Amino acid sequence: MEQAVHGAVEISSSSTLSPRQAFEQWEALMSDAVAPTAIEPLRQGHWHGQIASTQFDGFAVTRMQASAQRALRTKKMVAQSTGDFLLVNIVLEGTNWTEQGGRVAECKPGSITFFDYGQPLESRTTDNCLSTLVRAPMQLVLEHSGLTRDQLPTATPAPATGALGVVTNFFRGLAELSPEEISQAVTVFGTDAAGMMASALLLATGETSPAPSDSLYTRQQVLSYIRKNFTNPDLTVDEIAHACLISRRTLYRVCEGFGEPGAIVRRTRIAHARRLIRADPSRSLAAVAAAAGFSTDRHFYRAFREETGITPGQFRDQIGPNGRAH
């Protein structure tokens, strides 16, 4: 797991910082912690905002409270953005209205709402609205849940009660920890974040019982086996099918929407290789390849370039001494 990176900032206009200057700083912070957006205040005069964000393994969990604002994420911004994420809004105080895909979600305290980072949206908040915002790797969460992108319950608030409340409290609690407690919590619970978010999606969509062979359960079983065994360079499609007690044909069917089984294995290996390089940029690429489950350096280089568009060496060159991109 990558080391957690935490930051907390409070911005307030004053005699030395105009409301416009304070707001511009706020817009930059929100774009980094949540998503690149154009933000404008909904009232004139004094501006105040607080944000505390923790980033780990592709996730960002942010606690935000600010003066009333409007956020707009345009098609152009979406096209220029890198990465693919699921955005989650857990409102604690105030109200947030967000439009995406022709639906307007009225997000009130005690609700959780999902949004697609890859689609435009417009959001407005009341003054001092307090939220926990989660940015989760889209593909990873989809693989854990067994859902496809068109099954996402976007812009549809769900009450954070019962089992869904347990998941909501997990992320809310993570956002409220002190900096000293966050690193320990992420080390212990961070690997569960994708599974927890996948559970929230399934609860929000009302998925409760699996169908037979190509059910959500079988898909989760297949993906779980891959995640546990991808570092084995001899892992084959036939072995995956055999271990999950399904035919090769059924295996391909349950993987529909995520790519062929071999592609899922490759994608999982590349994601792990990137984590290893970030954690220790001085580690040899041959050692990274072996640890990620590639039988030869050549296979590793080719797969890495096909998956990311750059070579492992180029990716490492982008990483600074502390494991973060330049």
* Residue 4 DSSP code: P
* Of 67-76, 202-211, 242-251, 264-273, the least confident: 202-211
Highest mean pLDDT: which of 97-106, 209-218, 299-308?
A: 97-106
Domains of the chain (ranges, CATH numbers) = 5-205 (2.60.120.10), 216-317 (1.10.10.60)
How would residue 138 be classed by pLDDT, with cut points 50, 70 and 90? very high
Those residues whose C-beta lies under 8 Å from the C-beta of residue 152, and which sit 6 or more positions away, are 86, 114, 116, 201
4 phi-psi bin (left φ>0, alpha ψ -120 to 50, beta other): beta
Residue type, 322: N
Can you give the pTM of this predicted structure?
0.67
How does strand 85-93 pair with strand 96-100?
A: unpaired
Q: What is the predicted pLDDT for the residue at 321?
A: 57
Helix (H) or strand (E) run with residue 182 in it: helix 179-189
Helix (H) or strand (E) run with residue 32 in it: helix 19-33
- Average pLDDT on 224-252 reads 87
How would residue 242 be classed by pLDDT, with cut points 50, 70 and 90? confident
Render pLDDT for 71-129 as a digit per residue (tens, 0 to 9).
Answer: 999 999 998 888 899 999 999 999 999 999 999 999 999 999 999 999 999 999 999 99
Do 89 and 172 meet the contact criterion of CB atoms below 8 Å apart?
Answer: no
- Average pLDDT on 216-244 reads 85
Render pLDDT for 9-35 as a digit per residue (tens, 0 to 9).
Answer: 899 988 898 888 888 888 888 888 888
